[in-house]
Amino acid sequence: MTSTLLRQVRIVDPGLQIDQIADVLMVDGKFQAIAPTLADPPEETQVIDGTGKLLAPGLIDLYSNSSEPGNESRESLADLMAGAIAGGFTRVGILPTTLPPLDTPGAIHHFVTLAQQSVTPRPQLLPWAALTQGTKGEQMTELAELAASNIPLAGFANGQPISHPVLLRRLLEYAKPLNQPVALWPCDLALVGNGIARDGSLALMGGLAGIPVAAETAALALIVELVQEIGTPVHLMRLSTARSVQLIERTKAEKLPITASTTWMHLMLSTSDTLSYDPNLRLSPPLGNPEDQAALIAGIKAGVVEAIAVDHSPYTYEEKTVAFEDAPPGAIGLALAFPTLWQRFVASGEWTATELLAPLTTHPASCLRQNAGKIAVGNPVEALLFNPQAEWTIERETVRSPAQNTPFLHQHLQGKVTQVWTQHSY
């Protein structure tokens, strides 16, 4: 029997709408008892002083990129999962951008087998099956075969923009009866052109080729119109502009089955930061202008944009140590997102703990048509323990990855995940 008792820990569970201090007893992977005080725990129970610490449901990342299989020199699956656990994530959606891509049942089964060979504790990896062959946006995959493969999926996604309107319409028609989440990235590549920063006065001042807001909103409007016509529920990923937040708010007023997410980097930073020309700030979509950042923050807090995604994208030192315009877009973040967001929004008093945790737990679970972990008696333990006072520095060892492509490297943080429980911990 494995037994752990947390003494006087602060429980914050957005799904149960609770924020309270209590003793929590966990036995053999389930919550055995929760009360103001608990006496006489089972023999050989591990007792942890939870004073000043926070117990919350395990975090859920809607989408990130795995370098294995295909690019293990960047990061292995074991590294990715270690980083996820270090950051408090118990479920991670994996985009189909591996090599080979996750576009057949065989490729997905191989990926899942690789993940299961890792040590515990580990998060549950939920692969997104590719919408198009090779994620190239040209030919549809065998959606029905993928849906019937008996492999737990996050749903269908491409991880890349789909530029052909006719193909996009057909994908939504075919996906509708399969009852799987569909995630689309609203991005018109023709309008992106050779741009590398969000269009505006800051990009102009920095001499960076601009990407117009319309590159996102034109594609978003097309998706909305197709959802209006076909009725297939869609999750819109990687939103990055104030105008997109306005369009999503209007769409929801019309009761269309659409959810949305932005990435943690788009909440933390803006085009102003891009003027440092740090290649680790080369992202796609690019960081927004300050007004975009403010709108995304407000949209998350209000629930208009439901979820915060990590969009973890590892690259080697050599790949990222180039000029800004030559750098591949993406940054790592699984070990960093939650403590960094906590320091920026909760420790500052701008958000409550619940306002940060909801878009990282209950809301992404809803987007995936799943239930988040709940801190309730009888439920499986899927949770994290967070110490808001713990101080640490972001280094290679603490991000748990050989990939170092983050603009926060060597920075000091206060707040750290100290323990994670998943169903792979026992």
**CATH for 9:** 2.30.40.10
Distance of CA 123 to the CA centre of its chain: 13
| Same domain (yes/no): 44, 69 | no
Instruction: Tell whether 179 is covered by a domain.
Output: yes
Q: Are residues 41 and 64 in the same domain?
A: no
Question: Residue 302, exposed/middle/buried by CB under 10 A (0-12, 13-18, 19+)?
Answer: exposed
Residue 426, in any domain of the structure: no
CA 323 from chain centre, in angstroms, equals 27
User: Rounded CA gap, 186 and 218, in Å?
Assistant: 8
> Is residue 373 a part of any domain in this protein?
no
User: Residue 131: which domain range?
Assistant: 57-367
Do 46 and 121 fall into the same domain? no
Together in a domain, 87 and 194? yes
* Residue found by looking up tokens 């999503």 in the block: 248
The catalytic residue among 79, 188, 278, 311 is: 311
The per-residue pLDDT for range 392-421, each reduced to its tens digit, is 999 988 888 899 999 999 999 999 999 999
Q: Are residues 138 and 278 in the same domain?
A: yes
In a shared domain, residues 392 and 348: no
Q: Which two tokens stand for residue 118?
A: 């890792």
Does the residue 126 lie in any domain?
yes
Residue 304 lies in a domain: yes
- How deeply is 393 buried, as exposed, middle or buried, from its count of CB atoms within 10 A (0-12, 13-18, 19+)? exposed
Number of domains in the chain: 2
Domain identity same for 330 and 395: no
Q: Is 244 inside a domain boundary?
A: yes
- Is there a domain that residue 372 lies in? no
Q: What does the block give as tokens for 213? A: 């807001």
For residues 190 and 244, membership in a common domain is answered with yes
Question: Cα(290)–Cα(241) distance, rounded to whole angstroms?
Answer: 10
- Domain co-membership, 39 together with 73: no
Which CATH number does the domain housing residue 222 bear? 3.20.20.140
Task: Indicate whether 251 and 193 sit together in one domain.
Answer: yes
What are the tens digits of pLDDT across the range 76-113?
999 999 999 999 999 999 999 999 999 999 999 999 99
Q: 311 catalytic, yes or no?
A: yes
CA distances from 208 to 197, 286, 325, 380, 418 (A): 6, 11, 8, 50, 40
Domain boundary among 326, 345, 367: 367
Residues 362 and 406 in one domain: no
100 prior amide bond cis, ω within 30: yes
Instruction: Give me the amino acid identity at 207.
Output: G
pLDDT of the chain, 426 residues: tens digit per residue: 789 999 999 999 999 999 999 999 999 999 999 999 999 888 899 999 999 999 999 999 999 999 999 999 999 999 999 999 999 999 999 999 999 999 999 999 999 999 988 777 899 999 999 999 999 999 999 999 999 988 899 999 999 999 999 999 999 999 999 999 999 999 999 999 999 999 999 999 999 999 999 999 999 999 999 999 999 999 999 999 999 999 999 999 999 999 999 999 999 999 999 999 999 999 999 999 999 999 999 999 999 999 999 999 999 999 999 999 999 999 999 999 999 999 999 999 999 999 999 999 999 999 999 999 999 999 999 999 999 999 999 998 888 889 999 999 999 999 999 999 998 654
Q: Among candidates 66, 68, 130, 122, which has minimal Cα distance to 94?
A: 66
Residue 75 lies in a domain: yes
CA pair distance 193, 210, nearest whole angstrom: 9
Residues contacting residue 143 through CB under 8 Å, at least 6 positions apart: 129, 131, 156, 171, 174, 175, 178
Q: Confirm whether pTM is higher than 0.95.
A: yes
The candidate with the shortest Cα–Cα distance to 266, out of 235, 289, 246, is 289
Are 32 and 148 in a shared domain?
no
